[in-house]
């Protein structure tokens, strides 16, 4: 049965118009008797929209903006560089070179459609590339068997992702982030950190063999695209994937096995990523351990850009393919035109933001004249006073809501505080301070393993000082993630702060205070742009910050010219290397910023509004909170603190390095989500983030002192993040035995109706 429109005009919403039809009906037409009988009834039917309406909708900019962008790019470069852009060889190389990136994006489509944020797709590509090369070159396995074993390993990776997400109930964002770190360690272990050479000639021909002028990966990509499209769009399994991604609870109530859907999506993503990796090794004739992470951002960007095409915001196969090739066309044209090396990053980010922003913008049903009149009416003094009074009343109701609770039947609610023993047990539970117990365990292990180096004061001073900047970047994420915005541009913001202050000092010869001030003002501007994209442009934070990250990487490359900026003033370098009580100055700057952030977040109304906005923006607005202003302050704070971390990094290194920023993304996000399991029961908090960052750093430092392999820190980071978050999730849900016992107790008391109080309250009789 067609779904009825929720609000507004049906023609406006669906392109349809209702039609009332009178039908004659016999009593035998219905199994119901008595109340319904024979007679005429009116049935509301929906007419399909006319052909002109359907064509106009199909050709609208919102539905196929990427194709219009492709036409614009084609015309522009055909006029600009016709001698190279319009040749057949250019288009053959473009289609062939982009096939693997497009294949990676296709792997992410089912996972993202099922609601799984797959951040391990790049590492899965790298694992497929290195594993097949290792089997062929080191173990001398036949090519078919090596490919089969690589696919089996990819299936196991997908199953492990499913176990973490569906069984251990680790959020997919954290589970795949930790799995990415673990897979990076496996890649380094297999390859030894070096390229694997001497692959068989038969394997190299797989990706380099041409059919009709196009390499074989193009046809592999098309075959997988058709298969994924058919499953998602033409089978009940595909409808289950979209249902699980839209609302898992509603899908489960509708009979969809959400766990099985996530399993299939995770396995499909890992397998397609593994296939892309082995094709990459076949093209390069080598197993390169560094190629995987480079596919993460382009693949996700293509999926989200493609989601704006053809399906009205839904992840789909052909939109992803079109988006990947539109981006590739723009990049190829710029390269042929001799554009700077940073132009492709700028183009990728700008194209993603513009396309998604235009698609997210919906035309207001109010005319321009009516909008101006409404604006003038709302700007009067009486209206503003009434709005302030209404907001104050809403806040008063929210704050006084607890005092209005009452028990049915005339009872009163009295708060019974927990005992001292209960409070102490809760504070010391592994659920509340598990990271501190883990830190104590790590200290004991390495104190027994390498006491001569681990227990020295020099080791701990260097550990605390070296980790201060990473910890500062993690603290920058606390307010913005608490407000519900996942800032994937934090690494680029760190890099921008470091390279910009170095450029101002070395090339523009500004004084240190002026250079620092200009850098912080630019960081404020970055925060404003992020806010405008998220709030005004209505672009999802995940996509907005992803595109902004690409734009900032281009700005960093433009400012630095792709090289390090040297000859920084000695006075500036003292900021990062000056020591007080054996600790470098960035440690004290970290403490000051952490205390300020903690006070604002935990001890002020602004902090409570921050958490309310992140928990439920709609409810926060109804409570009188200006969520737009909250997100504005959070994004600015994140950008400014990240810029401070970047300029401290340049001061420590004595140079402006354009490559340091992106490396901060995964460690800082890991520290924030690990810290969210500490002290505040799943809520982002400053001191949990600081503890999480230093717990990870302590484990890595101990492994380095013990002479562990170079891949062990990556493995440690991923395992610790997954284990701590999984344990916290396990502590939050009751065991099956406890649930059964409670059910039996309720069944025994079925005949009794004892007076009960709300949890944390005590029911008392009285008037």
- 257-272 confidence digits (pLDDT tens): 999 999 999 999 999 9
Closest CA to 683 of 435, 423, 483: 483
pTM score above 0.85: no
Q: Is the pLDDT of residue 764 over 90?
A: no
Rounded CA gap, 260 and 343, in Å?
43
Q: Is the pLDDT of residue 50 over 90?
A: no
**Both tokens of residue 251?**
């899908």
Confidence bin at 10 (pLDDT 50/70/90) = very low
Of the candidate ranges 53-67, 224-238, 472-486, 581-595, the one whose mean pLDDT is the lowest: 53-67
What mean pLDDT is predicted for residues 19-35?
49
Number of Cβ within a 10 Å radius of residue 571: 11
| Non-local CB neighbours of 545 within 8 Å, separated by 6+ positions | 485, 486, 487, 488, 489, 530
What mean pLDDT is predicted for residues 682-691?
89
Closest CA to 727 of 169, 307, 220: 169
Number of Cβ within a 10 Å radius of residue 761: 16
The pLDDT value given to residue 735: 52
As a whole number, the mean pLDDT across the chain is: 83
- 410-420 confidence digits (pLDDT tens): 445 455 677 88
166-179 burial, b if ≥16 CB within 10 A, otherwise e? bebebbbbbbbbbb
Confidence bin at 377 (pLDDT 50/70/90) = low
Going from N- to C-terminal start, the domains of the chain cover 10-55, 59-359, 461-697
The CATH number assigned to the domain with range 59-359 reads 1.10.3470
The pLDDT value given to residue 414: 54
- 463-488 confidence digits (pLDDT tens): 999 999 999 999 999 999 999 998 88
| Non-local CB neighbours of 744 within 8 Å, separated by 6+ positions | none
The pLDDT value given to residue 24: 54
Closest CA to 266 of 102, 127, 109: 109
Helix extents (H) in 561-681:
570-577, 585-603, 605-615, 617-622, 627-653, 665-675
Of the candidate ranges 16-30, 89-103, 158-172, the one whose mean pLDDT is the lowest: 16-30
DSSP, res 580: E
DSSP, res 656: B
Confidence bin at 598 (pLDDT 50/70/90) = very high
The pLDDT value given to residue 468: 94
- 121-130 confidence digits (pLDDT tens): 999 999 999 9
Of the candidate ranges 577-581, 689-693, 698-702, 720-724, the one whose mean pLDDT is the lowest: 720-724
The pLDDT value given to residue 448: 93
The pLDDT value given to residue 26: 52
């Amino acid at each position: 049965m067609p779904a009825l429109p929720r609000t507004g005009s049906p023609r406006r919403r669906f392109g349809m118009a209702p039609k009332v039809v009178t039908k004659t009906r016999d009593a035998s037409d219905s199994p119901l008797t008595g109340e319904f009988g024979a007679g005429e009834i009116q049935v509301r039917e929906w007419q399909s929209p006319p052909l002109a309406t359907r064509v106009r909708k199909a050709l609208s900019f919102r539905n196929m903006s990427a194709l219009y962008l492709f036409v614009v790019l084609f015309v522009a470069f055909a006029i600009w560089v016709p001698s190279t852009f319009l040749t057949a060889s250019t288009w053959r190389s473009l289609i062939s070179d982009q096939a693997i990136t497009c294949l990676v994006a296709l792997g992410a489509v089912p996972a993202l459609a099922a609601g799984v944020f797959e951040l391990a797709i790049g590492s899965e590509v790298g694992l497929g590339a290195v594993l097949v090369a290792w089997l062929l070159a080191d173990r001398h396995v036949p090519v078919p068997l090596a490919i089969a074993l690589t696919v089996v390993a990819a299936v196991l990776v997908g199953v492990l992702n499913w176990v973490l997400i569906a069984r251990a109930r680790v959020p997919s964002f954290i589970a795949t982030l930790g799995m990415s770190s673990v897979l990076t360690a496996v890649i380094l272990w297999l390859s030894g950190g070096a390229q694997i050479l001497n692959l068989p000639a038969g394997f190299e021909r797989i990706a380099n063999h041409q059919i009709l002028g196009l390499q074989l990966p193009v046809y592999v990509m098309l075959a997988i695209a058709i298969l994924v499209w058919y499953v998602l769009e033409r089978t009940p399994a595909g409808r289950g994937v979209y249902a699980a991604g839209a609302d898992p609870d509603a899908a489960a109530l509708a009979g969809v096995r959400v766990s099985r859907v996530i399993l299939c999506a995770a396995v499909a993503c890992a397998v397609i990523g593994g296939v892309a990796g082995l094709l990459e090794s076949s093209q390069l004739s080598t197993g390169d351990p560094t190629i995987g992470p480079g596919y993460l951002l382009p693949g996700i960007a293509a999926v989200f850009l493609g989601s704006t095409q053809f399906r009205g915001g839904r992840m789909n196969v052909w939109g992803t393919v079109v988006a990947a090739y539109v981006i590739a066309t723009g990049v190829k044209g710029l390269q042929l035109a001799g554009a700077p090396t940073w132009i492709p990053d700028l183009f990728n980010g700008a194209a993603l933001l513009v396309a998604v922003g235009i698609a997210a913008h919906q035309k207001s049903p109010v005319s321009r004249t009516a909008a101006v009149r409404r604006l003038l009416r709302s700007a009067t003094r009486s209206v503003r006073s009434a709005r302030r009074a209404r907001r104050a009343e809403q806040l008063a109701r929210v704050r006084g809501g607890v005092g209005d609770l009452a028990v049915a039947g005339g009872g009163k609610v009295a708060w019974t505080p927990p005992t001292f023993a209960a409070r102490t047990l809760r504070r010391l539970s592994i659920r509340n301070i598990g990271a501190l117990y883990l830190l104590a365990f790590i200290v004991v292990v390495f104190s027994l393993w390498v006491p001569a180096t681990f227990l020295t004061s020099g080791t701990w001073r260097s550990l605390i000082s070296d980790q201060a900047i990473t910890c500062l970047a993690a603290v920058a994420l606390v307010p913005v993630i608490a407000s519900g915005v996942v800032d994937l541009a934090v690494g680029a913001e760190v890099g921008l702060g470091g390279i910009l202050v170095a450029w101002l000092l070395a090339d523009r010869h500004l004084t240190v205070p002026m250079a620092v001030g200009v850098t912080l003002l630019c960081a404020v501007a970055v925060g404003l742009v992020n806010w405008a994209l998220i709030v005004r442009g209505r672009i999802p934070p995940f996509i907005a910050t992803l595109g902004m990250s690409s734009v900032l990487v281009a700005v960093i490359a433009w400012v630095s010219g792709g090289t390090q900026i040297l000859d920084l003033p000695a006075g500036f370098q003292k900021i990062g290397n000056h020591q007080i009580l054996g600790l470098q100055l960035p440690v004290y700057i970290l403490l000051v910023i952490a205390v300020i952030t903690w006070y604002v977040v935990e001890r002020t109304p602004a902090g409570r509004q921050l958490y309310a906005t992140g928990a439920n923006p709609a409810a926060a607005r109804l409570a009188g909170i200006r969520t737009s202003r909250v997100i504005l302050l959070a994004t600015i704070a994140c950008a400014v603190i990240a810029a401070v971390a970047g300029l401290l990094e340049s001061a420590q290194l004595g140079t402006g390095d354009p490559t340091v920023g992106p490396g901060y993304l995964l460690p800082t996000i890991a520290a924030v989500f690990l810290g969210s399991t500490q002290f505040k029961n799943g809520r982002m908090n400053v001191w949990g983030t600081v503890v999480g960052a230093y717990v990870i750093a302590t484990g890595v430092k101990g492994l380095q002192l013990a002479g562990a392999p170079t891949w062990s820190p990556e493995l440690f980071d991923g395992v610790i993040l997954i284990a701590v978050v999984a344990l916290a999730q396990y502590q939050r849900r009751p065991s099956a035995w406890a649930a059964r016992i409670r059910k039996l107790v309720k069944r025994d008391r079925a005949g009794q109706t004892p007076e009960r109080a709300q949890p944390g309250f005590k029911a008392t009789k009285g008037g």
